[in-house]
Amino acid sequence: MKHTIAVLVENQYGAFNRVATMFSGKGFNIHSISIGETEVPEISRMTIVTEGEDKIIEQVVKQLNRLIDTIKVIDLTGQTRVERELALITVFYQKGTRAEITNICEIFRGNIVDINNKTLTLEITGPPDKIDAVVNVLESYGIKEMARSGTVALKRGEQLKHEKKETVV
Amino acid sequence: MIISKPKLSGAEIFFECLKREKVELIFGYPGGAVLKLYEKLYDVDFLKHILVRHEQGATHMAEGYAKATGKVGVVLVTSGPGATNTVTGIADAYMDSVPIVVFTGQVPTHLIGNDAFQEADIVGITRPITKHNFLVRDVAELASTIKKAFYIASTGRPGPVLVDLPKDVINSVCEFEYPDKIEMRGYKPTFLGHQNQIKKAADIIKKAKRPLLYVGGGVIMSNGYRELRLLAKENNLPVTMTLQGLGAFPMTDEQSLGMLGMHGTYWANQAVNNCDVLVSLGARFDDRVTGKVDSFARNAYKIHVDIDPTCIDKNVVVDLPIVGDVKHVLAELAAEFEEAPDLTQWWKEINQWRKECPLQYEKNDGKLRSEYIIEKISEKTKGEAVVITDVGQHQMWVSQYYKFTNPRSHLTSGGLGTMGFSLPASIGAAFGIKDRPIISISGDGGFQMNIQELVTAAYHKLPIKIIIINNSFLGMVRQWQELFHAEKYSFTDLSESNPNFVKVGEAFGIKSFSTNTPTNVDSILDEALSYNDGPVLIEFKVVKEDMVFPIIPAGQTVNEIMTKRLDPKEMV
Ligand SMILES: Cc1ncc(C[n+]2csc(CCOP(=O)(O)OP(=O)(O)O)c2C)c(N)n1
């Protein structure tokens, strides 16, 4: 089963490498991995989509926790969450198909961000399965190039009690 | 008025930090990137630097010192080849959870990534074999990094930490302040076990009809052996130990079943197979212990105490995990017991297995055998020596025939199985332990892997008994070739190529002996054990083709145990 795991790590030299090489060293799967800053400058947030039996996922979480630079590991699977991915897709068009592609783009609430005499570039955001669906439809037109950002995810906001701000750590 | 603190160079800060960590020994080897440190070292008097002859030797020495004393072992080497030579020892320390800190020189920060002379990305190389590692990029971070390194290495599940020191960082100056406390939000090892889990475990053990304690190196590392003895003795519980656990409970005690696993005793493995409650204490269900995982203690309720959560449910899924320091958990467990359970029936069965298939070897053909030598050493040292083995058949014979009575006395490379471990590790142990005999036992193969450290032992006049069990073969591999590889003795026969070990010893200025007769063993051992002005080397030429029994072939169960060589007549 697929799991989306959020990892808060010290924003430090080599922290990403530690996580990535731990995955390869232990033979764990990575579907996608993304990293970026958080609201606290010293902390980065990684979102990792991985797959495996429960026993494996349990090890993944434990091994992530074991890394010294790891501050917090949250398996978001099964929690209410917002998941998004961004894809840039350059697709070939011909006479007549340009309108079709533009139409598809609209259906998926995407944007056309580039065009030349042969290709259109679409920008699509959404949950990963939506991106899969777009790719699926566009495939018949001929995809020249594609870049996907990997998933980022956050737990859906619970009501905060009073004005207390949630602090990390 | 602001009084500014004195400014120190990186090199000065380095030694100030070691002083505050109470480091008394460094095992090291100089080179270009660490010259500044060695310049400073020249005038340092609070610690002793031991010049090794190969950086792998330094890491094993640090391990031997750390395992024997419980203190952190420290290594200092140069960049590039100096650093890469430490890799095997670091991996070894990682597998066996040994607290060492390795300082490596590095090219100046502005040259990192340039393929500069003697540059190696040692932080990248050692990421998967260290508990943690650091590249210090600013002298201002040096003191706190060293503090963290020692803290991480020695707490929680111990392990190796590497600190990479670029040349310019060592050369630049900064104010020195040593933090007395360290806070790392990502590193907070769980120390106390969960109260309710401990209570529950005690209730289950109390009710058990056939309980068994399965003890690993964690009990020794946490200094939990007194608590273990209390729990086991007060409640008449049988104890079996892993290779790393040997010595946690006296093997001379009737309640010790000896080692379990591939070359463990028949009765220990039968006990595992038949127990109804298995209590794993600081052990990790290694494949050399479990054999076929699905059958391992298959009828038992399994309790697993370990400080490292990743060990739990990794190889074997357990019924009751307790994450915490084994010493503490053991003390709390022991406190839960009021009266000893009645285990008469269980002991009867165990003792029956003991009789059915004892450890035995041929004693009456006048030939010299490893088992005999090890039994003799055990007898003469009353099981109280520190015995450091290498890897192979002799290692397994030591685990079977040396009756360890104390913790921190059996030092061996278990997880990685590193040939060449014994000699340097015994040197490290000899620097740390002065009141007990230090006995290094190697095969003729492994002995040659760090043979250069004979100099280190000789130069420092360390009273190590360096024993070579010479069977003219890479014995353990030969055994597998005989049993599992169609008797193709491919590249394991050393008889044509081995050096003259006595001459080797003498060339290093070491008193050396050799014999191939059992009747000489007593007198040679007596002489060696009473000589303490330096190392002695003894070559025992033993029979060539003996095998270690019993053996449970890899991935199998106690039902497939082999207890002796198949008689060709029986093989038809
Ligand atoms: C560095 C290293 N290389 C290879 C091996 C594989 N190996 C395991 S045991 C063994 C034979 C050891 O022979 P020897 O040192 O003579 O000891 P014996 O088994 O004869 O007691 C070998 C080659 C190893 N464990 N370590």
Closest CA to B9 of B237, B230, B233, B175: B175
Cβ pairs bridging A and B (under 8 Å)? 42
Does B123 contact A at CB distance below 8 Å?
yes
Please state the ipTM of this predicted complex.
Answer: 0.89
Q: Average pLDDT of B314-340? A: 95
Sign of CA dihedral A25, A31, A35, A40: negative
The neighbouring-strand residues paired with B438 are B386, B464
Q: Is the pLDDT of residue A165 over 60?
A: no
Partner-chain contact B187 A65, CB within 8 Å: no
Q: Average pLDDT of B477-481? A: 97
**pLDDT tier, B565 (very low <50, low <70, confident <90, very high otherwise):** confident
Among chain B residues, CA nearest to A57: B314
Strands A43-51, A32-37: pairing is antiparallel
DSSP for residue B166: E
Q: Average pLDDT of B170-194? A: 92
Q: Which residues of B touch A22 (CB under 8 A)?
A: 128
Percent of chain A surpassing pLDDT 90: 86
Q: Is the model more confident about B434 or about B568?
A: B434
Q: A162 CB contacts (<8 Å, ≥6 apart)? A: none
CA distance A47 to chain B (A): 17
Strands B73-77, B132-135: pairing is unpaired
Report the pLDDT value the prediction gives residue B5, as an integer from 0 to 100. 77
Testing ligand 1's pocket by substitution, the residue of B391, B421, B497 carrying the most ligand atoms inside 8 A of its CB is B391
CA distance B12 to chain A (A): 25
Q: Is the pLDDT of residue B572 over 50?
A: no
Q: Is the pLDDT of residue A161 over 70?
A: no
The token pair that represents B101 in the structure block: 């800190």
Partner-chain contact B186 A69, CB within 8 Å: yes
As assigned by CATH, the class of the A2-81+156-168 domain is: alpha beta
Partner-chain contact A66 B308, CB within 8 Å: yes
Does A162 contact B at CB distance below 8 Å?
no
pTM, to two decimals: 0.95
CATH 3.40.50.2300 is right for the domain spanning A82-148: no
Q: Say how far apart CA B214 and CA A149 lie, in whole Å.
A: 48
Q: Is the pLDDT of residue B568 over 90?
A: no
Does A38 contact B at CB distance below 8 Å?
no
Closest CA to B395 of B409, B382, B413, B372: B413
Residues of chain A with CATH 3.30.70.260: 2-81+156-168
Does B313 contact A at CB distance below 8 Å?
yes
Q: Is the pLDDT of residue B201 over 80?
A: yes
Q: Is the pLDDT of residue A61 over 80?
A: yes
Known catalytic residues of B?
55, 117-118, 167, 476
Question: What pLDDT, in 10s, does the model give residues B219-278?
Answer: 999 999 999 999 999 999 999 999 999 999 999 999 999 999 999 999 999 999 999 999
Does A21 contact B at CB distance below 8 Å?
yes
Residues of chain A with CATH 3.30.70.1150: 82-148
Question: Which of A25, A59, A70 is the closest to B128 by Cβ?
Answer: A25
Q: Which residues of A touch B125 (CB under 8 A)?
A: none
Residue with tokens 């006479």: A95
CA distance A139 to chain B (A): 40
Q: Say how far apart CA A17 and CA A72 lie, in whole Å.
A: 17
Report the pLDDT value the prediction gives residue B6, as an integer from 0 to 100. 81
Q: Is the pLDDT of residue A169 over 60?
A: no
Ligand 1 atom 13: the closest Cα is on which residue?
B474
Alpha-helical segments (H) within B381-500: 393-401, 422-432, 444-447, 454-459, 475-484
Report the pLDDT value the prediction gives residue B448, as an integer from 0 to 100. 98
Burial class (CB in 10 A: 0-12, 13-18, 19+), B259: buried
CA distance B116 to chain A (A): 20
CA–centroid distance, B449 to ligand 1, in Å, is 10
Question: Average pLDDT over chain A, rounded to whole?
Answer: 92
Burial class (CB in 10 A: 0-12, 13-18, 19+), A69: buried
Q: A20 CB contacts (<8 Å, ≥6 apart)? A: A30, A33
Q: Please give all residues whose beta carbon lies within 6 A of any atom in ligand 1, as ranges.
A: B 390-394, 417-419, 443-446, 469, 471, 473-477
- 3-state class of A4 per DSSP? strand
Question: Average pLDDT over chain B, rounded to whole?
Answer: 96
Instruction: With beta carbons less than 8 A apart as the criterion, state whether B100 and B75 touch.
Output: yes
CA distance from start to end of chain B: 96
Q: Average pLDDT of A77-89? A: 95
Question: What pLDDT, in 10s, does the model give residues B360-381?
Answer: 999 999 999 999 999 999 999 9
Q: Is the pLDDT of residue B569 over 90?
A: no
Among chain B residues, CA nearest to A9: B186
